[in-house]
Structure formats: C-alpha cells, structure tokens
Amino acid sequence: MKRVGILLIAIALIAAMVACSPTPVQYTLSISSTQGDVVDIPSEGAFTYDAGTVVDLVATPDAG
C-alpha cells in the first residue's frame, strides 16, 4: 500500500510540472515593402515567431 501512495504522489508531481511549463512568448512580425521594392524571404505578410528566433530577411530593390 505504501508503494501505491508513493506512485500516486510521483504521478501528481509529474502532472503538476507538465501543467506549469511556461507558454513560450511569441511575437508577430509584419513585413511589407514600398513601391519599387520586394521582400523575397519570408515574403510579405504577418508571421508569428517564438521569442529568440532569428529571422533572416531578403529584400530585392527594383532596377533603377
């Protein structure tokens, strides 16, 4: 009976740890271009990223 009690306590502790894991902070990156420019990667629009994510941007100007 003592082992069952210890097992139940261990399960309760594990469940509490999983429930308390922090939700990652996320940010929305809105990308747009002006006339004569184009954003190639990741393209124009709104994208959601986790905090700390490195986002590479590639923009190409029109000729002239």
3-state secondary structure of 63: coil
What's the pLDDT at 1? 59
Using an 8 Å Cβ cutoff, are 38 and 64 in contact? no
pLDDT digits (tens, 9 = 90+) for 24-56: 889 998 888 777 777 777 778 899 999 899 988
What's the pLDDT at 19? 65
pTM over 0.75: no
What's the pLDDT at 5? 76
Quickly list DSSP for 4-35: HHHHHHHHHHHHHHHHTPPPPPEEEEEE---T
